[in-house]
Amino acid sequence: MRIEEFLPDVQKVLAEEGEPAYRLKQAYKALSVSLIRDWEESTALPKRLRTALSREAPAATLELLRVSQATDGTRKYLFETRDGHRIETVMIPEKERRTVCISTQVGCPMACKFCATGLLGIKRNLKAREIAEQVFVVARDIFPDRVSNVVVMGMGEPFLNYRETLLALKTLNDPQGFNLAARHIAASTSGLVDRIRRFADEPEQFHLAISLHNPFEDERRKLMPVASRHSIPELMSAARYYVETTRRKLFFEYTLLAGVNDQPRHAEALAELLDHPLYFLNLLRFNWTDTGFEATSKRDAKEFLHHARKLGLSATLRPSRGEDIDAACGQLAAKDLRGRPTIPASR
């Protein structure tokens, strides 16, 4: 973990101020361990340095505008970046777990037909510090409870912002920093096969989820434009590479859409496709967005799960959380993004 890559603006200030090298580690721990939001909170740093940092490299790169709480306890955080864009983050409480769902881009370029974020297009990638800071803010907010898991399933396609996303995850995993176990961190992709292979080769033991949503090529292309770039055979080849390289379980995300991908033939095709003991199917009923789709009924969703399990699939039906505050999967879309000019995502 190279702290100077995570905090380049802080490193620049320290160099300009002629500060010793150990100050960078002090600043890093202040942010990732003490979870400060203002350098004045870090009394280990000299007053003169705190003033310089506050002026040139503020401790908070995101302004927290609002926290909304759903009836089930789910919290949604609305942030504004320094350049005026808005992103959303979600904290999901469940028994002993506190899972934080984070964003990696402002908007999303993947344009999945049932996803509210996909309607926005892409504005820009988030920096590693902006990605990790979402977790820091939530951790500070829910203290003395602790963040137990992080899932990179918020706004954006993480693998189109690969370098910054991975740097953020390494920061969250760093034993000298936030110290969250790698196996409690999971990234999700819509199916970028080259990045799936690259992720498999990373030394950290992060988990991976792949958005599948339909086992039939032509039907998947109608739901997910990325399917026109990478066929299902290409995707499954990358999936096989991942499990054979890492020996870790691989999750496939599948949103049930009424009359679209919830028929017995879909379950049967999934059983043929997900033919590895390390593959696991996560089913989720569609959460309402203004996209024209409807959710599979609870009864039909349970029948689909039952049929899938009878066919030998390892599968579960995940409950939706935070629907009443638009915090559930596929619902994140800071409304101010609509209509603003888009910026092509760098890779």
What's the rounded Cα separation, in Å, for the pair 256 and 320? 12
Pairing assessment for the beta strands 62-69 and 75-81 based on DSSP bridges: antiparallel
Provide the token pair at 324.
């009443």
Burial group, residue 47, by CB count within 10 angstroms (0-12, 13-18, 19+): exposed
The catalytic residue among 40, 56, 88, 133 is 88
The catalytic residue among 101, 108, 115, 329 is 329
Catalytic status, residue 323: no
Catalytic status, residue 329: yes
- Catalytic site residues? 88, 329
